[in-house]
Structure 1
Amino acid sequence: MLQGVKSLFFLSALLASLWDGAYAAIGAPSCVAFRSASDTFPIVNHGHAAPVYISSDDWPGVQRAAGDFVADIQRVTGAKPALVNLTLSGNSSITSDSRGGVLPVFVGTLGRSALIDSIVNSTGLDVSGVRGQWEAYLSREVKNPIPGVDSGYVIVGADKRGTIFALYEHSEQFGVSPWYWWADVPITKHSELHVKSHGCSHGTPTVKYRGIFLNDEQPCLQSWAMEKFTNGTGSPNLNSPFNHLFYAGLFELLLRLKANYLWPAMWGSAFALDDSANQFLADYYGIAMGTSHQEPMMRATPNEFTIVGKGSWDYTANKDEIYNYWLEGTKRAESYESVFTLGMRGFGDLPLSETTDIELLEGVIDDQTTILKTVFGSDVDLLQIPQIWTLYQEVEGYYDDGMRVPDYVTLLWADDLFGNVRRYPVPSERNRTGGAGVYYHLDLVGGARSYKWVASSQIPKIYEQMSIAVDRVASRLWVLNVGDLKPYERDTEFFLTYGWNASRWNPDNLDTFVSGWAQREFDLDSDDAHSVADIVANLSRFNSRRKPELWTSTTYSLIDYREAQQWMDEWGKVEKASTDIYSKLPDDTKPAFFQLVHHPVSASANAARMLWNIGMNNLRSSQAFLSTNDYADTAEELFEHDWDFENDYHTLLDGKWDHMMDQTHLGYYYWQQPMTNSMNAINRVQKRKQALAGYMRISVESSNGAWPGDNPNQCAQGYNCPPPTVALDSYSVFSNRYIDIGAGGPASFSFKISSNTSWVDISPSSGDVSPQNPEKRVFLSVKDWSSLSDGANTAQLKVAATSKGQPSMIVTINFSATRAGSIGDFHGFVEGDGVVSMEAAHATRNTTVDGISWKNFPGLGRTLSGVTPWPRSDQAFDVGTGPTLEYDFFTFNTIAGSGNITVTALLSPSNNAQGQDNPLTVAVALDSEEPIVHQPMPDSAAGKQPAAWDGVNGFAANNIIPVETKFTNVSAGKHTFKIMMTQPAIVVQKIVIDVGGLKPSYLGPPESHRV
């Protein structure tokens, strides 16, 4: 320990070479100004900085943070304030520095700082709103704070972290981002700094303990830290690089983010064992330490037990050794602020055993309670020792089966590893003295598939899930699995910011979090900040629809609804928008924008394009198109380009972030990461050989087939199939259909397209195809729908091709254009192409019952948004009596004329988080028929997810639950589909009605025409 303490004397100097380097803090009221006014107090004025006074008896962590505070002022203005320890005696005084009109700043903690207590007592400063409150603070200009000083600015914390957070709040508003080192955000420079006389204030945070979990930290974070914080050799026992040099910077970041809690890196590491200064340093900074769900009693298990333990990790057979192992861990943590994890899991984050019984685990927790009393004293109030029991996977099953822990232990509920919380406290659980919390994931090693590469969570989704936690009083402790920390900076900050003050945020202002963040990080104007908010919203939507690690070359349909092409177009737009912002930023801002926005956008877009090209390559090879090889070439180029993005990241700023993008992400073939990036299989065709059916190949929209010649996708028989047919109707979402004309070998050719009717518009009607330009897309549309008769209108097109030295070729294409009949004065959604598709937000009517209606969450989900009952409560409704969404729609058909239709509601994959005996349900109805009740998430065994959740095409992977309802005896015409609330917290994203034309796709058809 002595060595660790000594190391702190040179810690600041050593870190200076590593940790050097705005507007109002995000979502917080402004208390900073950059010019003098009648209601401001000068911090830096005309080049002179106000001296900062602190009491020598205040917390060491407060004094350290005060050092950051004055350093931040110098970073912003160039003027360095004096930081002075002031001990007041009966006749002591200080003299104000009149140069520049600066006056002193006083910093301290109530009940700890003699200086602050004296000012409060002598001036009558009202601190009643913060005194005794957890992590609360206020600041004010105070007249005559001490003898000889006319006025001073006083920063008062109710406790140690209250003072620290107050200092960092000011720093952030001065212009120092919390990510000034961790994401290289430039300091926003100002010549002057002033604070408003009314100052800043904040009461008790929403969530008491708010923290992160460094998990799954190899290959990126561990390799990076080894290079940056060691000489190439880590800790003696585990070769871990996570020493006090690494953690000092992390602790500062956490405090700047208003976090107070950490589960440290644990795979191949042991926080307390790796560096004897680590525990001391955490307490010195003001970070409460914990250990993960699998590591009881402040021991890094299994790593520490492997080193210092004896015998097996079996509490039945080796109880005494394990007990003493936990006892020593508790003694080691006694002097420091800690949150003790209770319970027991097996080695390697696995269930303890298949036969573990509740009685054994209750005995384990009883013994752990005895250990706490042994270490802290038999008369200790155990409520004052923070303890958690993490109800993770099978442990939740133990709880469901009746296992209980003492009332003062916090129940830490977990998500399903994909951002859907498995359980929240029910009313009977909300009055526990230990309260409840949530363990949430941005990163995962596990099934259905690991995801660790780039950010793939949506802020609206995080808000939607964690706001339920707030509503249901799961707010004692939140911990976020952030993997390597980078590249999850923005989502991490939102999670912690929301836990700091949940009242700031609602579904309608979430976008201001990102736009405010963009202004703070990149010093953008309002328009560009909103552009960044749009970029981030699209990036996170595209990556959360399905994690990039789960993408395949056919995730998005290559032939129907232009889905894959739309995916490409969307990525192109968001990448261009990001490039436009990036290209005009100052050079010192580009590294931050690259890390936080541009790299994840560009790298994700590149991976998506690669997979699309692979998909098209596979399709075209089956269709005997020469362009098969072009798609293969492009896919290979994009695959290699993936490494360029990684290398750009690693060489940024002279290699500061080397290894941080080491994570493999291409070529998954089971749940675990591949050992290297690999590209999916591509095909080639012989470029000098002509296709058997000739030099011209034709494919049509919504078919995998190709003409002329044989192809199994032309017709059921697979040979001697009729000509292709292309269909369009007057309410089709797309106003045209396409055919692709391509080369079938090395011969160039020209084509002309003619029609036997005049109403077909063909664009272009002629063209040239060659090995250098092997495909041409032609669009077919109707010139004037009013010129057609109601019902089907058919035309026959002839594609005639000529090639030098070869016989001419003609392919016939049937084009069917269906003009819909009259819909009268109907208003609502209209069937097109045999389907009605409606975004849930676009209801015709939204009824309110008992003050509850359906609320739109902009940006939530896979396509547009999600709707959910709001405001939230525990109130449930009998079927047909609750708030109802109604969607008016008009159909011309039923499935094969049978009178049947199928309605699929696409719901967020919310768990049955109200308990096993109260599953989440929703009711639907058509017109005046009796409602039908659905339970979207099936029942499952205690501690398990249902089979439908799992797998690469399960609810979690697809980030959706499709709820299907079949209706019979339905006639064409006007109808109303109804979604009725029965239980709170259901989220509906989209409704798709199949009346005979629904085709396979990932997202469902684009939204239908609404008239």
Structure 2
Amino acid sequence: MNHVVIHRDSAIFLSENMPTAVKHAFDMIVRDHQKVFGVLPKFASSPTDADLVIRYATEEDMCPKRVEAFSFRFKQHNGSWSLHIVGNDDLGLVYGLLHYSQTYLGVDPFWFWADIPVSRKSKIEIPVKNFDSPERKVKYRGWFINDEDCLIGWKKGYPPTKEVWYPVFEALLRCGGNMVIPGTDLPRHGIHTDLASEMGLWVTHHHAEPLGAEMFLRAYPGKKPSYKEHPELFEALWAEAIEKQKNRKTIWVLSFRGQGDAPFWHDDQEFDTPEKRGEMISQVVRRQYEMVCQSVDNPVCCIALYGEIAELYKDGHITVPEGVIKIWADNGYGKMVSRRQGNENLRIPSLPAPNDDGEHGVYYHITFHDLQASNHLTMFPSPPELIVKELRKAFDAGATAYLLVNSGNIRPHLYTIDLVSRLWNEGSIDIDRHLQEFVSRLYTAKHQEIADLYRCYFEKSIIYGPNEDDRAGEEFYHHNARRIVAHWMKGNRNAPEPKLFWATGERPFPEQVRWFEEKCKEGLEGWEELYRSCNRLSEQLPEEDRQRFYDQFVLSVKLHVSGCKGFLALCNAFFTFMKHDYPLAFVQVSQSIDYYKEGLFALKCSEHGKWEHFYRADWLTNIKSTLYSLDSLRKFIRMQGDSPHFFLWYREYLMSEIEKHIYLENTHRNPLSDDELAAKLKEKFNIQ
């Protein structure tokens, strides 16, 4: 078979007047060529002088007649073959270039996020065999860069600069995505939206920011956020947003929620029945749709059936304009049911009914932040079979027009991001084969052993409820621990903490603490066993694999181990405190602090090279807040028995019997710090 040979002296031809999206992708290819061959490629002045040609498709190319399609075609000139990457449109060319990058240059979609090196080559040979891109399962596919605290705090600039956003959007395009919500409530002068558009992505909006408009109270502080009272003010914000975005590829979100992503009737209590609420939402959505249609030809619009809006729609209280894509959401834990709201967990199915005409789509979480049990810094806690089953079910129900994935901070979630991107591209997946392929891409050795540990991870997560998706991420160990500390210190030690009912049910506070203690006991052995297995395998890995394995896998395990041990020590301290054994409770809280500090250290160990400071803005799981709460609790406990002079425990437990009777007050004026006292008492009490 004939081949196109690409090497360090090969020349590339890019047709003139290409749009910015293609230019950005071309820049990626130039960079990739330099990595592979050690030099920048040459640039040809005409197609006949080039080994690689990038151009729009012609009729002669017979490229598939659909949006975003691309083809590889081959031309022979003076006895040499050249590769022509041709596309029907801008994104077709972008995807064609990135397919060439991955398939022939060997650049992985996650080369940046997983630090996957690109191998040097003297040449690559491309078989002269036409290729047409397959049709993708989902029309609009993308990420919601949501709860992106690490991305915000990673670099000094705020809002995040191109240095942060470019690799996000590049990875999304390499995964076959074409749509993005670029961040959550970021300042409007930031580069995020403009850069996403420049790179060819459709930009869409948070369901709490319809049409991408500014929040009402931010624009009109002091005014009541009531559409009934101030329709002209709301519509002025919508008109401004439409004018700014009308010339971009925009998927317009029609919605009406209250300020701060809450139901609008929290601010406008006149709407006290489902009928009134549904009619107001329907009225607002109709008006938003009319305004978009007045300024944009054939706009793509959607409505997020999220939370209370989904319930009102399913009960027949909301009408949606014809042609608007209806977006259904999972519960934050991967199940296509309504999300838990505080202690209420109705789990209403969140999929279109068979007779619900029109286009449908899905908003899906592989990471979540709910201040209860979600995974934010760690991998998705349920098995991948759940993700595949739920998304296949959604596809079968007709929800193939749109798939938006809550992707969080990207870096901790590459496995599930890759899994979902395979689904949005192909519609189905062999989970075991995909895992083997994923592991083989990221690591150079021990593929089977690493894959086995990935499978084991999903078996270890704490099961906190009766449903298959009731599995705990790392927030379980932090937000609930802080609630327990606060309730404890307020003196309500027998009255229940209602904000824990979602997990424990209604029971006295000591029984609530006991419930969490038992869950942590059940989970800890499995997590520690997995962590030991990780350490044994790490010792057998090449150095470059070892760090990547830590960043992509071991870190999640370590956060579970440290969180589980810290929470368990806190629960032990509570029951010791209730027995009025304050010195021992003080030591146990100190142990809890030490365990949670291991989580902070685990994050630090992943901040090497370009990742320096990546986790410094851990504001959502917020290990530092957990430590702050525990430190406050430790001081509170010390006040119970060692105040006012903070010398009583030292004298009672640490001084020799002789010294207790002869010491002089003026020689013992410097009380031990909490850490010093805890360390000495721990040794005295023979606590391991």
Distance of 1:653 and 1:243 partners within structure 2: 15
Distance of 2:235 and 2:434 partners within structure 1: 47
Q: After superposition, what is the alpha-carbon deviation per residue over 1:942-999, rounded to whole angstroms, capped at 9, x for unaligned?
A: xxxxxxxxxxxxxxxxxxxxxxxxxxxxxxxxxxxxxxxxxxxxxxxxxxxxxxxxxx
CA contact (8 A) 2:566 2:595 kept: yes
Change (3 A) 1:643 1:656: closer
Q: How does 1:500-899 map to 2 (within 5 A)?
A: 500-503=425-428, 505=429, 509-524=430-445, 528-543=446-461, 545=463, 546-547=471-472, 548-551=474-477, 567-613=523-569, 635-650=592-607, 653=610, 655=612, 657=614, 659=616, 661=618, 663-665=620-622, 676=628, 678=630
Structure 2 counterpart SS, 1:464:
helix
CA contact (8 A) 2:214 2:237 kept: no
Whichever residue aligns with residue 562 of structure 2, its letter is: N
When normalised by structure 2's length, the TM-score is: 0.75
Structure 2 counterpart SS, 1:577:
helix
- Structure 2 equivalent of residue 182 of structure 1: 113
When normalised by structure 1's length, the TM-score is: 0.52
CA contact (8 A) 2:153 2:613 kept: no
CA contact (8 A) 1:175 1:189 kept: no
Report which of the two has the higher share of helix.
2
Q: How does 1:301-380 map to 2 (within 5 A)?
A: 301-302=215-216, 306-307=218-219, 311-353=223-265, 354=269, 355=271, 356-376=276-296, 380=297
Distance of 2:68 and 2:193 partners within structure 1: 21
Whichever residue aligns with residue 81 of structure 1, its letter is: P
Q: How does 1:936-975 map to 2 (within 5 A)?
A: none
Determine if the alignment matches structure 1 residue 137 to structure 2 residue 57. Answer: no
Structure 2 counterpart SS, 1:500:
helix
Q: After superposition, what is the alpha-carbon deviation per residue over 1:726-775, rounded to whole angstroms, capped at 9, x for unaligned?
A: xxxxxxxxxxxxxxxxxxxx9xxxxxxxxxxxxxxxxxxxxxxx98699x
Distance of 2:376 and 2:131 partners within structure 1: 38
TM-superposed CA distance for 1:293, in Å, is: 0.8
Determine if the alignment matches structure 1 residue 94 to structure 2 residue 48. Answer: yes
Whichever residue aligns with residue 340 of structure 1, its letter is: W
Report which of the two has the higher share of strand.
1
TM-superposed CA distance for 1:392, in Å, is: 0.8
Q: After superposition, what is the alpha-carbon deviation per residue over 1:141-186, rounded to whole angstroms, capped at 9, x for unaligned?
A: x243xx5464222222232212211221232233222222233332
Distance of 2:154 and 2:215 partners within structure 1: 23
Q: How does 1:151-230 map to 2 (within 5 A)?
A: 151-173=81-103, 174-198=105-129, 200-218=131-149, 220-225=150-155, 227=156, 230=157
Match of 1:437 among 351, 355, 361: 361
TM-superposed CA distance for 1:243, in Å, is: 4.2
Distance of 2:539 and 2:199 partners within structure 1: 39
Change (3 A) 1:446 1:198: same
Distance of 1:499 and 1:59 partners within structure 2: 26
CA contact (8 A) 1:138 1:202 kept: yes
Structure 1 counterpart SS, 2:86:
strand
TM-superposed CA distance for 1:502, in Å, is: 1.6
- Structure 2 equivalent of residue 61 of structure 1: 21
Match of 1:285 among 174, 199, 210: 199
Whichever residue aligns with residue 63 of structure 1, its letter is: K
CA contact (8 A) 1:135 1:161 kept: yes
CA contact (8 A) 2:153 2:614 kept: no
Gaps of 5+ in 1: 1-37, 87-92, 97-103, 111-116, 235-240, 668-672, 691-745, 747-769, 775-1011
Determine if the alignment matches structure 1 residue 467 to structure 2 residue 392. Answer: yes
Determine if the alignment matches structure 1 residue 295 to structure 2 residue 209. Answer: yes
Change (3 A) 1:401 1:50: same
- Structure 1 equivalent of residue 401 of structure 2: 476
Q: After superposition, what is the alpha-carbon deviation per residue over 1:628-670, rounded to whole angstroms, capped at 9, x for unaligned?
A: 9997775453233222223323455572525254544559xxx
Structure 2 counterpart SS, 1:428:
coil
Change (3 A) 1:681 1:307: closer
CA contact (8 A) 1:515 1:532 kept: no
Distance of 2:686 and 2:193 partners within structure 1: 65
TM-superposed CA distance for 1:439, in Å, is: 1.1
CA contact (8 A) 1:221 1:659 kept: no
CA contact (8 A) 1:209 1:477 kept: yes
- Structure 1 equivalent of residue 54 of structure 2: 107
- Structure 1 equivalent of residue 346 of structure 2: none
TM-superposed CA distance for 1:296, in Å, is: 1.2
Distance of 2:409 and 2:304 partners within structure 1: 22
TM-superposed CA distance for 1:253, in Å, is: 2.1
TM-superposed CA distance for 1:336, in Å, is: 0.7
TM-superposed CA distance for 1:410, in Å, is: 0.3
- Structure 2 equivalent of residue 409 of structure 1: 324
TM-superposed CA distance for 1:308, in Å, is: 7.2
Whichever residue aligns with residue 256 of structure 2, its letter is: M
CA contact (8 A) 2:377 2:556 kept: no
Structure 1 counterpart SS, 2:101:
helix
Distance of 2:586 and 2:196 partners within structure 1: 58
Structure number, greater radius of gyration: 1
Change (3 A) 1:59 1:492: same
Determine if the alignment matches structure 1 residue 426 to structure 2 residue 426. Answer: no
Q: How does 1:929-1008 map to 2 (within 5 A)?
A: none
Change (3 A) 1:154 1:312: same
Identity of aligned residues (%): 19
Change (3 A) 1:557 1:398: closer
Distance of 1:675 and 1:364 partners within structure 2: 45
Higher relative contact order (CA 8 A, sep 6+): 2
TM-superposed CA distance for 1:385, in Å, is: 1.4
Distance of 1:364 and 1:632 partners within structure 2: 52
Distance of 1:544 and 1:210 partners within structure 2: 31
CA contact (8 A) 1:108 1:155 kept: yes
TM-superposed CA distance for 1:330, in Å, is: 0.7
Whichever residue aligns with residue 366 of structure 1, its letter is: R
Larger CA deviation: 154-163 vs 679-688: 679-688
Whichever residue aligns with residue 210 of structure 1, its letter is: R
TM-superposed CA distance for 1:413, in Å, is: 0.7
Match of 2:5 among 42, 48, 52: 42
Structure 1 counterpart SS, 2:326:
strand
TM-superposed CA distance for 1:347, in Å, is: 0.7
- Structure 1 equivalent of residue 484 of structure 2: none
CA contact (8 A) 1:39 1:197 kept: yes
How many residues are aligned here? 582
Change (3 A) 1:206 1:221: same
Change (3 A) 1:772 1:301: closer
Structure 1 counterpart SS, 2:407:
strand
Change (3 A) 1:172 1:581: farther
TM-superposed CA distance for 1:399, in Å, is: 0.9
TM-superposed CA distance for 1:623, in Å, is: 11
CA contact (8 A) 2:13 2:52 kept: yes
Whichever residue aligns with residue 456 of structure 1, its letter is: F
